[in-house]
Amino acid sequence: MDLPKKVIWITGASSGIGEALAYEFNKKGAHVILSARRIEELERVKENCNNSDEAVKVLPLDLTDSQSFAQKTEEAIGMFGSVDMLINNGGISQRAFAADARMETIRQVMEVNFFGTVGLTKALLPHLIEQKAGHIVVISSVMGKIGTKYRSSYAASKHALHGWFDCLRQEMYEHNINVTLVCPGYVKTEVTVNALTGDGEKFNKMGDAQNKAMSAEAFAQKLLPKLAKEKEEVYIGGFEVLSVYMKRWMPGTLNKVLKRVKVT
Ligand SMILES: NC(=O)c1ccc[n+]([C@@H]2O[C@H](COP(=O)([O-])OP(=O)(O)OC[C@H]3O[C@@H](n4cnc5c(N)ncnc54)[C@H](OP(=O)(O)O)[C@@H]3O)[C@@H](O)[C@H]2O)c1
């Protein structure tokens, strides 16, 4: 990856993993476009970057507003003349039992994580196809590969991303466009605080595992070399990443363990 010449568009750049990725790409000399809903947080992230006036642009975006995606994409391309990499990172989690989650809440998680990600990617595809190059990155989760208690619609949305983007990867091969699905384990961010309860309220509690997890900065540092190698699927985390391999090679054992774990 010749980063000083690349334009990287990051969703969910107002906090956590997206913010850390913005700093990491900025340090390497890339041009960065920051998107999320909270403009003041995006401006804060921009201020923390090097050479921010020339190298960083803020583009507010709500992933539930699919009507805006064509216009936002045009604006993003106009900011530096092209987009080379879209990092679909914006997302929301769930903390509620499946039996207690309202359909509206389930749809909201799907709207942000799945339809928002797919819609924005589709809006950018004609540009990437025309320039015969590009890289689409999706921040999925270990929950995109397995399912545990209290996260049903979140896991469903992340599993759905794997289906859609695995198909897209095969279709984009002839256009020289790469697709990378990234599965983080626990990363210390506000993702659990911001998660939705069954009735769609904010969970507002920090998860125990999140608290002890790797920092978003450490995560971003581990991810960049893997993107440079154009990996198709990436797992970054602690012991929880083992569950992805257990699901593949010993699914019965994994299910036995997961049925007994306490809810967090
Ligand atoms: N932290 C972990 O342990 C972990 C593990 C696996 C996967 N992930 C994934 O990593 C990604 C980033 O999460 P995080 O951990 O960094 O948590 P976070 O700090 O809560 O960040 C979530 C980001 O998504 C944005 N977002 C939420 N709803 C949005 C909407 N409707 N439109 C546009 N942007 C929206 C938020 O910005 P605004 O509120 O400003 O819109 C924020 O920037 C998510 O996709 C998450 O599923 C995280």
Q: Name all residues whose Cβ lies below 6 A of ligand 1.
A: 11-12, 14-18, 36-38, 41, 61-64, 89-93, 112, 139, 141, 184, 186-187, 189-191, 194, 210
**pLDDT at residue 196, rounded to an integer:** 98
The ligand 1 atom nearest the CA atom of 41 = 40
Query: What separation in angstroms does the CA of 80 have from each of 76, 119, 258?
Result: 8, 22, 47
> What are 54-92's pLDDT values in tens digits?
999 999 999 999 999 999 999 999 999 999 999 999 999
Query: What separation in angstroms does the CA of 55 have from each of 5, 23, 33, 72, 146?
Result: 11, 11, 9, 18, 38
Say which CATH class 3-260 falls into.
alpha beta
**pLDDT at residue 1, rounded to an integer:** 64
Strand partners, 181: 138, 233
**pLDDT at residue 3, rounded to an integer:** 79
The ligand 1 atom nearest the CA atom of 111 = 31
The ligand 1 atom nearest the CA atom of 63 = 32
Distance 138 CA to ligand 1 centre (A): 12
Task: Indicate the SS3 state at residue 7.
Answer: strand
CA-nearest residue for atom 20, ligand 1, is 191
Q: How far apart are CA 29 and CA 243, in angstroms?
A: 36
pTM of the model: 0.98
- Phi and psi at residue 88, in whole multiples of 5°? -80, 90
